[in-house]
Structure 1
Amino acid sequence: MMFGFNEEQIAWFGLTIGVGAFMLYMVFIIAQLAWESKAGKFGTFVLFLALAFGMVGFIAKMVIQWVLEH
């Protein structure tokens, strides 16, 4: 036990909160990349579309796990 949390709780926190924070950071990085490269509206859309596929997959995994548990 670390700080009153067991291993499962720490893993859940790292997976959900940690990966979620990392996704938000990736949004910032892609926005900065689109801005600096002057990608335009379509280029920015394509960059964020690629990122959105990864995020949708991660969120779908969490939803599927929640549905199967309940």
Structure 2
Amino acid sequence: LYMLFIIGQLAWESKAGKFGTFVLFLGLAFGMVGFAAKYIIQWALDIK
């Protein structure tokens, strides 16, 4: 969750605009979700 605030701060400091902010949140948040999903899938399938 804190990562979303970091992404927002990056968008604010870079003056990315609406579209740039959207792209930052889309790309970086999907990466964060994918990183978390990897561990959840490994746990669910009992893969080490």
2:13 to 36, 39, 42: 36
Identity in percent: 78
Question: 1:64 and 1:27 mapped to 2: Cα distance?
Answer: 22
2:40 is the counterpart of 1:66? no
1:57 aligns with 2:24: no
Query: Which runs of 5 or more structure 1 residues have no equivalent in the other structure?
Result: 1-22
Return the TM-score normalized by structure 1: 0.50
TM-score w.r.t. structure 2 length?
A: 0.63
Q: CA RMSD in A?
A: 1.9
1:40 deviates by 1.6
Deviates more, 1:45-54 or 1:27-36: 27-36
Which runs of 5 or more residues in structure 2 are unaligned? none
Count, aligned residues: 46
Instruction: Pick 1 or 2: higher relative contact order, CA cutoff 8 A, min separation 6.
Output: 2
Shift of 1:28: 2.7
